[in-house]
Amino acid sequence: MAVLTSRASPPALPRPFWMLWLGTVINRTGAIVQPFLSVYLVQVQGFTLGQTGAVMTAFGVGSLLSHLLAGWLTDRLGRRLTLTGGMLATSAAMVVLGAASGFLAVAATAFLLGLTIESYRPASQAMVADLVPPALRPRAYGLLFWGMNLGYSVAMVAGGWFADHGAHGMFGVNAAVAVAFAAVVWRAVPESRPAEAALGGVRLRAVLRDRLMLAVCAVTAGYGALYAQAFTTLPLAMAEQGVDRTRFGLAMALNGVLIIAVQPLTGAWMARRDPNRVLAAGTAVVAAGFGLTAFVHDARGLALTVAVWTAGEIVIAGTLPTIVAALASPELQGTYAGVSGMSWSAGAVLAPVIGTALLPLGPETLWSGIGLIGAASALGALLIGGPVRRRTSTDHSRTSSI
């Protein structure tokens, strides 16, 4: 009977992971400033579109650097201190930005907010690598991704209400949930950095010399440039096809619905597959979904393509951090996670540049070009699979023999 039970249910994830998951959901539920920041700048601050774009660029640059800085601090100071400190700094930046006025003050504060708002990601990714056995990491990272989307679906509704009824209030709400996240982690999640990691030096150049990790970053950046089209070029392209904002929003809502409904069911399946092959297959599916957009002329067709690339996104969610965690040594888990996050953000920054350059050439050229970027990333993921497997299996053998 005991054997049947162990086969029927997957191994339990440790309690500290679930407290980290809870804090992440709380934080994302109140993460209402970022999606509506541009609306706030125009409608409340009275900024021009040019000024709004400059402020959002300052925020984006800060966010890009946030991954690298937080990853380094995660290994230098510890996971728990970096995460809680980053969330408290985020809370303070939220309050200051909500009170700031004038272009220069708002732009400077937006940069500081960007520098802190993503600081929890490398720390939480390193915590999972520390707390969860390798075989369970795809499930754990997938559940974190699911929790983020679960919270984000609430945040979009709440943020829309605040944007219409009291925009300044959203800064206070976002600041409060950041403090709550910090409190949950500080009280319920112990420091997970291995003792031997604290004795080692943290050097960014060690990551930059890792050619295999750089190859993973190239794949990640390509995927970021592919996926971010959903929020940059896709709305513009669908407007040209006559899909109004309401129908576009309903079609895009399918992305969140599918993630919430399907993601928790994929954990056991993911754990039995090679992460690199899963990454390649998922990226190819996302690329196919965006490529099919060339034939979309209405909201129904858009919903179908959204369903396709969401399926690939669900598959990928737990694999990238699993691969990065497997490549990193214990003393560099945070730094590797930070470099990986920065590469994804770099791809996302390039997404509107690529998309808007291809948009005037017509939908066939646009989405074929985007699809080719995804196909190249999928091929890259497949090609690095062998080296990743050889390196991680060698590391595992060494660890087992000690």
Question: How many beta carbons lie within 10 A of that of residue 82, not counting itself?
Answer: 27
- CB within 8 Å of 164: residues ≥ 6 apart: none
Cα–Cα distance between 257 and 261 in angstroms, integer?
6
Buried b (16+ CB within 10 A) or exposed e, 321-332: bbbbbbbbbbbb
Token pair 């609430």 is at which residue? Answer: 154
pLDDT computed for residue 160 by the predictor: 65
Using one digit for the tens of pLDDT, what is the confidence trace for 88-141? 999 999 999 989 989 999 999 999 999 998 889 999 999 999 999 988 898 899
The predicted pLDDT at position 402 comes to: 34
Q: Which of 120, 152, 115 is nearest to 30 (CA)?
A: 152
- For residues 228 and 347, is the Cβ–Cβ distance under 8 A? yes
> Whole-model pTM above 0.75?
yes
H/E stretch holding 99:
helix 79-99
Q: How many CB atoms lie within 10 A of CB 400?
A: 7
Q: Coil, helix or strand for 134?
A: helix
d(CA 390, CA 396): 10
Q: Which candidate, 333, 308, 321, 316, places its Cα nearest to that of 377?
A: 316
Q: Which two tokens stand for residue 95?
A: 């309050």
| pLDDT at residue number 70 | 92
- The answer on pLDDT for 272 being more than 60 is yes
Rounded CA-CA distance 212/210 in Å is 5
Closest CA to 309 of 338, 336, 280, 283: 283
User: Per-residue pLDDT tens for 180-209?
Assistant: 999 999 999 998 887 765 545 557 778 888
Nearest residue to 240 via CA among 347, 373, 364: 364
Instruction: Determine the Cα–Cα distance for residues 396 and 252; give it in Å rounded to an integer.
Output: 41
pLDDT per position as a tens digit, 329-372: 888 899 999 999 999 989 888 888 888 889 899 989 999 999 99
* Backbone conformation region of residue 320, classed left if phi is above 0, alpha if psi is from -120 to 50, else beta: alpha
On whether the CB atoms of residues 168 and 174 are closer than 8 A, the answer is: no
Distances (CA, A) of 346 to 121, 343, 366: 16, 5, 20
